[in-house]
Amino acid sequence: MGREGSWGDLSPGDLVIGSVYVHAPFCARRCFYCDFAVAVRRSGEPQSWAEAIGKELEILGAEGLAPLAPSLATVYVGGGTPSLLGPTAMDRLRRALGPGRLEHPELEWTSEANPESLTLDVAEQWRRAGLTRLSLGIQSFHEGTLRWMGRLHGAGGARSAVAAARHAGFENLSADLIFGLPSFLDRSWRTDLEATVALGVTHISLYGLTAEPDTPLGRSVRKGRTRIADEDRYREEYLEAHRFLTQEGFVHYEVSNFALPGFESRHNLAYWDGSPYLGLGNSSHSFLPPIRRWNLRAWDAYLERVHEGRLPVEDSEVVRGEAAQLEALWLGLRTSRGIPRDQLGSPAACALVAAWEAKGLASPVGPRIVLTPEGWLLLDRLAVELSEALPTRTTA
Amino acid sequence: MELDHIRNFCIVAHIDHGKSTLADRLLEHTATLDQRQMREQVLDSNELERERGITIKLHAVHMDYRAQDGDEYELNLIDTPGHVDFTYEVSRSLAACEGALLVVDATQGVQAQTLSNLFLALDADLEIIPVINKIDLPGAEPERRQFEVAELLGVEPETVLLASAKEGTGISEILEAIVERVPPPSGRWEAPLRALIFDSYYDKYLGAVPSIRVVDGVIRPGMTIAFGNVASEYEVTEVGYMRLKRFPQKELGPGEVGYVVAAIKEVADTRPGDTILDARHRAKELLPGYQEVRPMVFAGLYPTNADDYEDLRDALDRLKLNDASLQFEPETSTALGFGFRCGFLGLLHMEIIQERLDREFGVDLITTVPNVEYHVRLTGGEELAIESPSSLPDRGKIDSVSEPVVKVRILTPSEYIGNVQKLCHDRRGVFKSMNYVDTQRVELDFELPLAEIVLDFYDKLKSGTRGYAAMDYEFLEYRPDDLIKLDILVNGDPVDAFSVIIHRDKAFQYGRELTSKLKELIPRQQFEVALQAAIGPKIIARSNVKALRKNVTAKCYGGDITRKRKLLEKQKEGKRRMKQVGSVEIPQEAFLAVLSIGE
């Protein structure tokens, strides 16, 4: 793959896409544990970024590969650090996406932002451009922890960022928190949870620290210099978050996401329920069932390709049969909607789910099966088990 | 051909001392094969043989040679397997010869296998022609080796020939020495047919085709033949000799070497060492030396995927067509399901079979710990032969358990004597004798339980001598000892595939090592898994696999579902390769771990 003109078989047919992800690759520095597609810059390059996104969309359109709905239901700008792009970024993006695309009355338009770069100016101009939701990379309120992680904001950063967002008129605010940190940091998870709730956010995402192999953290763990939390502590903190946040009125609606009722992220739900989505920018993924494709990972390579008028796609795959089944189970089990019981097409699968229920890993909710928090802790294993127990679908 | 113009000989050598290259040169020099054919021959031969540098199957090649005396001679080169697992088969091919080229590497000198094969050749009363090969190599010490070999054989150093098969030097001298020194065969034309079978291969069109050496009488198409030790009769349709292909002849007379085609149903009918007779005119006496080939090492072979059971059976059936020494019968394991208990001549034989099943037939296998055959005397006086630990009767019913003991010959540079002594001692060996082969090398003789060398003895010997030692073994006798069955319980249930019969003194350490090794290899399950080693009802070691606490990819970023799914697919694939034992999933590596205990 990767040759020009070889994408004819990716034609989406009658599909219409209502969700778009846009990657903003710039970060002022790379965090200790991060393995995302990031370009380290002192400041973002909003103009070339928005131009590239617009150009990519143009190329996709010419190839018939971006059948966007006239007005989109959800847009999510992730990174990297989108707030590093500065106050003009969202207005530029609005123009890059084309007239009318962001006029949906129910539009959910989220951008990630880091406390240190979400200034009042940025928040206000973004709000004016039409952004409806901010996802703040808070991670922790503990000074030592933030420093160890390589974050650029301090303990007070979260509060001032939330204040700026509020002042600009954002009501729908999400906070990212990290758990499962090394014990030597002496960070109190409970304290951070309480502080987050006290900020009055409407949505909380949890991120369990994992030592990805190609990160400084991964190398440090491999060499035995750093010990990340053991499984028991990971488990305890996860369950503690569930207990505390649900008690505070949050709904644990997906493995790592909590929301006040009505504030669930609709964009993320599109990923989990198998809806089509378009990814723009380097390293982004698109799903036009049954085809998933993804862009070149490096910003420079992406930019070069787009400027040459060529698709920046790295590769694609057709998700069918066993792979599609495994994906659907895994994604379905992630959410509190679960999967329909009548999908358990074999006695082995029914027996397996009955065993989960007996062990408190799953519970029936109406005609559906939903994992409990204990079940979510074993999500990958359970999805694999269930897909083993099901007869392979023979879809063409 | 007149008897006095026939020479039957073989080449005996240690692995890699250049036997095949020398054989190739002889064929070239006698214009039996040209170079193009040589290459083809190399390409045609069994891939495994070439990789391991060993000859697994025997072949005999017929050469015509005009000697310096002006006469035309028929030279038959009979190939011999180079490894101790095939000692009996080596002895049968030696019995078809009158002479042997003893090939010794000019850099390495005499090795353990050189000695074992030499002793077999001397037992067979063969005329030995010693050849120092690879004299072209930088480290070669031809004169020292000449002297060393002369001393070993009790001959004059100048009778030891020098050659470089690679460079083609010394080949004429070897051919002349074969004509001059190897005695011609003796035999009577008019006597009733007696022909020695020394090998056999299976051809799907011709059936089993035995390689034979005619001792007395004549064999020709149209005759009905019988066997000394198998009750079958067949009509001969073709006789002849082999080069690259068959060269049919009118007949084979006394002293001649060739093949017989008689639509023989299976290789098992054509047993090495058996005598082919004229069914209408049977000779009174069979040729001496026939033995039933008995397997020495046993292991259970199980398909990783239960659906492959029939494929495994077919593959074993097909291997058996060509290898009568492979034995197998169906076996059921509670842990591993349906499989086969297989008997092998030795470790190398077992490895070869495993590799061929994998490589030629594509069957993915789990092999249980190899074990030997135990002889059990029950309190009632009854005797049992046990090939699998799980069939050992209750302890209360056992009077004694005997195990096979082998004579082991180890050749090592003298600085490693201590390491070798220690290794053999650790393996319950009894030291018998020590001789200096030359100033630097020592031959050590031990008696060792075969069970102690079937696993990793050879590897340990090699690492304890920096790769210099060589070993060889042969069966001695059955001896009683304090042997018990050690079971491994997984969550309370014995897993038969982990059971071993072991000496009581070693059981504790073995149990402890195995349970802790299994702890590393059995992945965490959704519950705690207890691993115990037990002798009867007594638990002697234990270890726990903690329950799985977390297995989740918490955050699913930016729609990159493909990468996460691939991780799940990997997990799923791993799960498929596991064996479900009760409620516990055990990966294949755990069954193999038993093989590497003590590392």
Q: Is A26 on the interface with B (CB under 8 A)?
A: no
Which chain A residues touch B523 with a CB distance below 8 Å? none
Render pLDDT for A341-392 as a digit per residue (tens, 0 to 9): 988 878 999 999 999 999 999 999 999 999 999 999 999 999 999 998 987 6
Within 13 A of B261's CA, how many CA atoms are on the CB side?
16
In this prediction, residue B83 carries a pLDDT of: 59
pLDDT at A188 over 90: yes
Higher pLDDT, A83 or B271: A83
In this prediction, residue B479 carries a pLDDT of: 96
Distance in Å, alpha carbon of B582 to nearest chain A alpha carbon: 15
Distance in Å, alpha carbon of A75 to nearest chain B alpha carbon: 11
CATH class held by domain A7-272: alpha beta
**Residue matched to tokens 């030097």:** B169
Nearest to B548 among A205, A255, A378 (CB): A378
pLDDT at B43 over 60: no
Render pLDDT for A199-232 as a digit per residue (tens, 0 to 9): 999 999 998 988 888 888 889 888 888 888 788 8
The topology under which CATH files domain A321-396 is Arc Repressor Mutant, subunit A (1.10.10)
Nearest to B562 among A234, A292, A379 (CB): A292
In this prediction, residue B554 carries a pLDDT of: 62
Residue A91: pLDDT band (50, 70, 90) is very high
Sequence spans of domains, chain A:
7-272, 321-396
CB contact at 8 A, A277 and A270: yes
Render pLDDT for B89-145 as a digit per residue (tens, 0 to 9): 788 889 999 999 999 999 988 887 787 778 888 888 999 999 999 999 998 989 999
CB contact at 8 A, A107 and A72: yes
CB contact at 8 A, A96 and A90: no
CB < 8 Å from B in window 366-385 of A: 376-381, 383-385
Average pLDDT rounded to a whole number, residues A164-178: 97
CA–CA distance, B59 with B77 (Å, rounded to integer): 8
DSSP state, B363? -
In this prediction, residue B595 carries a pLDDT of: 66
pLDDT at A197 over 80: yes
Q: Is B568 on the interface with A (CB under 8 A)?
A: yes
Higher pLDDT, A240 or B453: A240
CA–CA distance, B263 with B270 (Å, rounded to integer): 12
Q: How many CB pairs under 8 A join A and B?
A: 102
Within 13 A of B363's CA, how many CA atoms are on the CB side?
25
Test mutation, A231, A233, A287, chain B, max B CBs within 10 A: A231
pLDDT at B44 over 80: no
Residue B34: pLDDT band (50, 70, 90) is low
Average pLDDT rounded to a whole number, residues B467-482: 86
Test mutation, A284, A292, A380, A387, chain B, max B CBs within 10 A: A380
In this prediction, residue A9 carries a pLDDT of: 47
Which chain B residues touch A272 with a CB distance below 8 Å? 556
Cross-chain residue pair A231–B558, CB shorter than 8 Å: no
Higher pLDDT, B520 or B556: B520
Q: What is the mean pLDDT of chain A?
A: 91
Segments in chain A forming alpha helices (H): 46-63, 89-97, 120-129, 143-149, 157-168, 189-198, 216-222, 231-247, 266-272, 299-307, 321-334, 347-358, 373-376, 379-389
In this prediction, residue B590 carries a pLDDT of: 83
Q: For residue A25, give Cα distances in angstroms to A253, A282, A300, A306, B32.
A: 28, 7, 10, 15, 73
* Chain A residue closest in CA terms to B526: A378
Which chain A residues touch B555 with a CB distance below 8 Å? 205-208, 256
In this prediction, residue A235 carries a pLDDT of: 93
Q: Which two tokens stand for residue B190?
A: 């008019």
Within 13 A of B149's CA, how many CA atoms are on the CB side?
32
Of A40-49, B52-61, B295-304, which range is least confident?
B52-61
pLDDT at A68 over 90: yes
In this prediction, residue A346 carries a pLDDT of: 87
CA–CA distance, B22 with B166 (Å, rounded to integer): 8
Q: Is A279 on the interface with B (CB under 8 A)?
A: yes
Give percent above pLDDT 90 in chain A.
77
pLDDT at B593 over 90: no
Higher pLDDT, A51 or A150: A51
A365-369 LR contacts (CB < 8 Å, sep 24+): A365/A336, A365/A338, A367/A340, A367/A341, A367/A342, A368/A337, A368/A338, A368/A339, A368/A340, A368/A341, A369/A338, A369/A339, A369/A340, A369/A341, A369/A344
In this prediction, residue B596 carries a pLDDT of: 64
pLDDT at B52 over 50: no
Average pLDDT rounded to a whole number, residues B471-482: 89
Q: Is B572 on the interface with A (CB under 8 A)?
A: yes
Render pLDDT for B134-188 as a digit per residue (tens, 0 to 9): 999 998 989 999 998 998 888 999 999 999 988 889 999 999 999 999 999 999 9
Of A343-347, A350-354, B192-196, B491-495, which range is least confident?
A343-347
Residue A4: pLDDT band (50, 70, 90) is very low
In this prediction, residue B592 carries a pLDDT of: 72
Nearest to A209 by CA among B568, B555, B524: B555
Beta bridge partners of B216: B194
Q: Is A263 on the interface with B (CB under 8 A)?
A: no
Nearest to A270 by CA among A72, A124, A131, A116: A72
